[in-house]
A and B are shown apart, each in its own frame.
Chain A
Amino acid sequence: MKRFFSNLNFTVGFVLSSVVVLLAAISLVWTPHEPNLMNADHRFESMSLSHPLGTDHFGRDMLSRVMVGAVKSIIVGLAAVAIGMSLGVLLGLASAYYGKLVDESIMRFADLLFGFPAVLTAILITSVLGPSLINAMLAIGIFYIPIFARLTRAVAMTIWGQEFIAAARASGISEWDITLRHILPNILSPLLIQGTIHFAMAILAEAGLSYLGLGTQPPYASWGRMLNEARTFILLAPWLSIIPGVAIAWAVLGFSLLGDGLRDTLDPKMVRVR
């Protein structure tokens, strides 16, 4: 543990992201106000004791909405990384193991998916299924498949070529067991690193999709959605346009620094010279 905290990136990232996780966890049981409760008497209030971050155009408490938004962001991040990682790792392992035609077709398939940035995938899905948070997760997750597939393939290929694998083979362990016992554990730490970084990137992507109205639907709060609603009142209540953005940048910065810190400590080879 001490090894991790001697790294500045990790420490700062850990502190920033814990705040987000903590706020999200608290909001599950308690928020200062009901996040979707409209109150016409308290519209566009600036910061006060009862509303620490002010209120929006429906008189809803901003702090409560930011807290609830954190939950949305974390769920989207986890789901997108889970989708991308599970399918990507499977494809990457298959690609590295079978090689040749399988490898070539999987990698071309990855190229193909890579041609559809998350926004385009979201637009495709949304025009057929209608906008929802699940579709946003799906869109980001699909975009992540080629990223994790390439990463897994690259790492798995170098491991397959190493001597201890040859030794394992010679001692009669089945290839399936080699994959499970030797290849997978070696891929874990790069996966953890990339998973954390792409978790952060998913929060960023979800904010963009929600801003377009392709993610979380009203009246539910999500950071991107709040920015979208605040755009109309930019002259009247500029803080409504600032607070959710700060939350996004905070969370993304926190989790990506955490990922960088993990990389620095878990994979010293990858850090060339800092």
Chain B
Amino acid sequence: MERIPQKIKSLHDSCPASVPTEAGLKNRKYVSNHIQGWWVTIHAFLERCDMRRYLVKKLLTLLILLFLVSIIVHSVLFILPGDPAHIMLGIDATPETLATLRAELGLDKSPWAQYTEWMGNLLTGRGSQSIHYQVPTHDLILPRLAVTGPLALLAMVLAVAISIPLGTYASCHQNRPGDVGVMFFTQLGLATPAFWLGILLILVFAVHWGVLPAGGFPGWSVDFWGSVKALLLPSFALGIIQASILTRVTRSSMLDVLREDYVRTARAKGLKERIVIYVHALRNALIPVLTILGLQLGQLIAGSIIIENVFFLPGLGRLVFLAVGMRDLPVVRDIVLFMAAAVVIINFIVDLAYGFLDPRIRLE
């Protein structure tokens, strides 16, 4: 009775207790238990409604965000500069070629018509035409995902595989030499550009030892293991830098959790230290790590643009870099939209996961 919330207590008080006898008192207790049981069910239902409302709200925000992202990308490239055809062709363009390109890009239409045509083509799967390659942009983007995707994934897996054990280790040996060493290296990792680490790795593994390729990509169907080898160094370069951030987050999150009462209880219960750390503490400590992981994935997509150019990997980053050089604006537009959308969607998923893991978030 003591710990029943106020709401139930008032419900309970308003229940007509038929006879104020001893049996009635017993009955009253039964009623309160009964109501409490109902209350739990109702509460679970409400919570599910919360979840659904939270989901709908988040999903709407996501759609609006994606819409705005596409508007920004389109207007920065095609509407603000005045005449994109001029940008693409440079100063020595003849009026005739300019007119042809304008017609080809649909620049003679109103800005809104241009945007809706682009979106319409995108949503119906027709896509827009690359000026340089003369193929639909999705025919350029999708095959290159087979390089960028595995690269980012491998880097992420590596980062997680390094950082979680290392961060946990550091938190358990706080301020001892092991921890200080780990913190020193992560500080160094935070200050090192991933692409320079890539260059250093080339110097060591490709130039000095000659065990891994310095760049290039044979293609998955041509040479599977060669392709894996080609992705090793760049994903190491990206992954190690990501790992230094994640290690620090894991460590500080673990330090917070290890101070919690329930960890002390678990220890007092006589559980093995390993179980306390890996089962009780780490699981809770991973929630903030997950958020950072999501944010990092967005950064990873951006980072891959540079690293792909260091290793001459035919991925999205290399494509967008070349497209900027050739002023192939439709390709630039579609890739930037794709990457920005990826960042936004990943953050959305992380937000959701966070809401699932921590119910306090979705009640806000």
Residues of A participating in the B interface, judged by any CB pair closer than 8 Å: 108, 111-112, 114-120, 123-129, 200, 204, 207-208, 211-214, 224, 227, 231, 234-235, 238, 241-242, 244-245, 248-250, 252-253, 256-257, 272-274
Contacting pair A207 B193 (CB below 8 A): yes
Minimum CB–CB distance for A39 against chain B, Å: 25
Which of chain A's residues have a CB closer than 8 A to the CB of B69?
Answer: 112, 115-116
On whether A117 and B199 interact (CB within 8 A), knowing A208-B193, A273-B255, the answer reads no
**B44 in contact (CB, < 8 A):** no
- Cβ A115 vs Cβ B65 within 8 A: yes
List chain B residues, Cβ under 8 A from A242. Answer: 200, 203
Chain B residues whose CB sits within 8 angstroms of the CB of A212 once the complex forms: 305-306, 309, 321
Query: Are A120 and B339 in contact, CB atoms less than 8 angstroms apart?
Result: yes
Asked whether A112 lies within 8 Å of B65 as measured between CB atoms, the reply is: yes
Q: Knowing that A127-B324, A249-B188 touch, tell me 19 more A-B residue pairs with CB under 8 angstroms.
A: A114-B343, A115-B65, A119-B303, A119-B305, A120-B302, A120-B336, A120-B339, A123-B324, A128-B76, A129-B81, A212-B309, A214-B324, A224-B193, A227-B196, A234-B203, A241-B199, A245-B200, A253-B188, A256-B187
Say yes or no: B191 contacts A234, CB within 8 Å.
Answer: no
B175, A234: Cβ atoms under 8 Å?
no
10 cross-chain pairs, A with B, having the tightest CB-CB distances, nearest first = A117-B302, A245-B196, A253-B191, A252-B191, A119-B302, A115-B344, A128-B81, A249-B191, A115-B340, A208-B306
Contact indicator B340/A116 (Cβ below 8 Å): yes
User: How far in angstroms is the closest Cβ of chain B from A169?
Assistant: 26
B 84-111 contacts with A by CB, 8 A:
84, 87
Decide: A211 near B302, CB < 8 A? Known: A124-B77, A245-B199.
no
Please name 5 pairs of A and B residues whose Cβ atoms are closer than 8 Å in the assembled complex, sorted by A.
A108-B61, A115-B340, A129-B81, A241-B203, A252-B190
Contact with A along B287-300 (1 / 0, CB 8 A): 00000000000110
Residue of A nearest to B328 (CB): A127
In the complex the two chains form, what is the Cα distance from A18 to B128 in whole Å? 51
Q: Which residues of A contact B65 (CB under 8 A)?
A: 108, 111-112, 115
In the complex, which of the residues A212, A234, A244 has the most CB atoms of chain B within 10 Å of its own CB atom?
A: A212
Q: How far is the CA of A7 from the CA of B282 in the complex (A)?
A: 30
Evaluate contact between A126 and B301: CB separation under 8 angstroms: no
Q: A111-B65, A117-B343, A128-B81 are in contact. Are A272 and B200 (CB under 8 A)?
A: no
- Give A213 to B305 CA distance when docked, in angstroms: 12
Contact at A238–B81, with CB atoms within 8 Å? Answer: no
From B191, B200, B343, A115 is in contact (CB under 8 Å) with B343
Decide: A120 near B340, CB < 8 A? Known: A127-B329, A231-B199.
Answer: yes
A149 to B72 Cα, complex, angstroms: 20
A224 to B194 alpha-carbon distance, docked (Å) = 12
> Is B17 on the interface with A (CB-CB < 8 A)?
no
Interchain CB contact (< 8 A) of B175 among A119, A241, A253, A274: A274
Interchain CB contact (< 8 A) of B191 among A200, A231, A244: A200
- Interface: B49 (CB within 8 A): no
Query: Which residues on B sit within 8 Å (CB–CB) of A231?
Result: 199, 310
Alpha-carbon distance A207/B332, docked complex (angstroms) = 22
Question: Which residues of A are found within 8 Å of B325, using beta-carbon distances?
Answer: 213
* B261: min CB distance to chain A, Å: 16
Query: Is B207 interfacial (CB-CB < 8 Å)?
Result: yes
